[in-house]
Amino acid sequence: MGLLSCSISETITPSLLFFFLFCFIGFGTATFNVTTLAFDEGYNPLFGDGNLVRSPDGHSVRLLLDVYTGSGFISSRMYQHGFFSAKIKLPSDYTAGIVVAFYTSNGDVFEKNHDELDIEFLGNIEGKPWRFQTNVYGNGSTNRGREERYNLWFDPSKEFHRYSILWTAKNIIFYVDEVPIREVVRNDAMGGDYPSKPMSLYATIWDASSWATNGGKYKVNYEYAPFTSEFKDLVLDGCAIDPIQKFPNSTACSETDTWLESRDYAVITPKSRSAMRRFRQRYMYYSYCYDNVRYPITPPECAVDSNEKQRFRNTGRLRFGGSHRKQARMERARRKRRSRAASVSDDQTDM
């Protein structure tokens, strides 16, 4: 990431601005030190037979959606805490109605009270940027969604980017490349809503015409099929347990937990924390934490950031439309006002 990518990523217009944003966000965050797996070392096909295509070297896999079926894979084992990560390239062109999901779940084992952590890419109509959401469920809290939705600072169908979910006993962090975009710190008041039981990793592509794009307005158009997503540089760090052993004993994972919590991706440095803040200020366009219509009482894990909050209505949606450019204009105006008020160090590093 960083300078090389940004020097080649922006040749066309609207984007001198994005050029800077991209460089800035990417800048200074070192690549994670991770060990990658071949597909067969950690995963099994889940559905879609011929629509799951392994590369000849076994290190990457393509998931296709055509008119007959989507496809997916699952980790061979379940994990009690872990870092689940892959470099992903999404389908390009017209992808309305398609969802590409990268998530952890134990819904097959705990039907009534499952846990789940989601990254879901929501298809787009041609020419519009991809959007995605993250979500957290614990112990069957499916009637208490904890969605956040975002845009990206790059086109995820052009190149591979790393997407990751870290889950420890203390916190959950979602990453895009090395930028933490969301952290959920465990809080006693969350109770069972904080995921606590072993989960598998899933990756899927499927037809979600009924809801994915503009609330279902745009459906999958199979004239553009097959839709291809690619996964590589797969990472599964964590305490692997036997799926039959639904609840690992309390010491079984303590060594792995300590190891996991000491990894570079488990530590949010001040620098990556400010990258997270900037990402959220520029690219998040919905948060359940600011959706007071849905949650009159703010959920206990929400760390309400007053700068962040002022951008949202009480429906959790953006106050002033959602376009990048409009957002960016406002951001610049805000920054100008702020720097006129002679605030210091934070401003120097912005853009």
Ligand X SMILES: *[C@@H]1O[C@H](CO)[C@@H](O)[C@H](O)[C@H]1NC(C)=O
Pairing assessment for the beta strands 116-122 and 131-137 based on DSSP bridges: antiparallel
Q: Does 113 bind ligand X (CB under 6 A)?
A: yes
Phi, psi of 169 (to 5 degrees): -70, -15
Q: Does 191 bind ligand X (CB under 6 A)?
A: yes
Q: Closest residue to ligand X, Cβ-based?
A: 192
Amino acid letter, residue 72: G
How far from chain centre, in Å, is Cα 284? Answer: 12
Amino acid letter, residue 260: L
Note if 116 is an active site residue: yes
Shortest distance in whole angstroms from residue 45 CB to ligand X? 29
Amino acid letter, residue 16: L
Of 10, 111, 116, 126, which is the active-site residue?
116
Shortest distance in whole angstroms from residue 189 CB to ligand X? 12
Nearer to ligand X among residue 155 and residue 242 (C-beta): 242
In the list 252, 266, 302, 351, the residue contacting ligand X (rule: CB under 6 A) is 252
DSSP string, 114-168: --EEEEEEE---TTSPPEEEEEEE-TT-TTS---EEEE-SS-TTTS-EEEEEEE-
Q: Does 139 bind ligand X (CB under 6 A)?
A: yes
Cβ density class 131-149: b for 16+ within 10 Å, e for less: bbbbbbbbbbbeeeebbbb
Note if 120 is an active site residue: yes
Nearer to ligand X among residue 112 and residue 340 (C-beta): 112
Q: Does 302 bind ligand X (CB under 6 A)?
A: no
Q: Does 251 bind ligand X (CB under 6 A)?
A: yes
Shortest distance in whole angstroms from residue 290 CB to ligand X? 26
Give the span between the Cα atoms of 255 and 238, in whole angstroms.
Answer: 10
Shortest distance in whole angstroms from residue 192 CB to ligand X? 3
Catalytic machinery residues: 116, 120
Task: Write out the residues near ligand X by the rule CB under 6 A.
Answer: 113, 139, 191-192, 249, 251-252
